[in-house]
Amino acid sequence: MKSLVQLENEVELALLEEATVTMGAQVVEKLKALFESNKDETVSSTEVDFNDLIASLAGDEYFEGLMETVVREAEGEKETLENLIDRVIKEHPSKTISWIHFLAFFSKRGRYQGFAQIQVSPKKMSTLSKL
């Protein structure tokens, strides 16, 4: 029989795995830069206008070239950047979005689940595949 501490550790590891982004640090850095470029202090110091962010992402030359690239995989399900953006548009209810909420859409879980932080896998961009 497992102790309470062992069970808690297993749950914590499982949650940490669910909060992992596997598309590579370079892509995450470019997403973060795009997010930061959309900051408007009149909106919030930690959030950006959701529609402006999506428009910037869709119109960015770097990300335009990645639209058919798989950016999220979970339980055998593959999601391209284009499909992920479509899902974010459908699922995000607010006019603004924070960085952690936005990045959570790229995690294995695919949405924000109260994560305190999100891990970035050391997976390289070159290992991402086109559908």
Domain ranges of the chain: 4-127
* CA separation for the pair 83, 94 (Å, rounded): 19
Distance, CA of 102 to CA of 112 (rounded, Å): 8
CA 94 to chain centre: 16
The number of beta carbons lying within 10 Å of the beta carbon of residue 64 is 12
pLDDT in tens, 43-97: 667 899 999 999 999 999 999 998 998 888 877 888 999 999 999 999 998 899 9
| CA-closest candidate to residue 19, choices 97, 101, 89 | 101
With a cut of 90, say whether residue 109 has pLDDT above it: no
Q: Model pTM?
A: 0.70
| C-alpha to C-alpha distance for 78 and 7, rounded to whole angstroms | 30
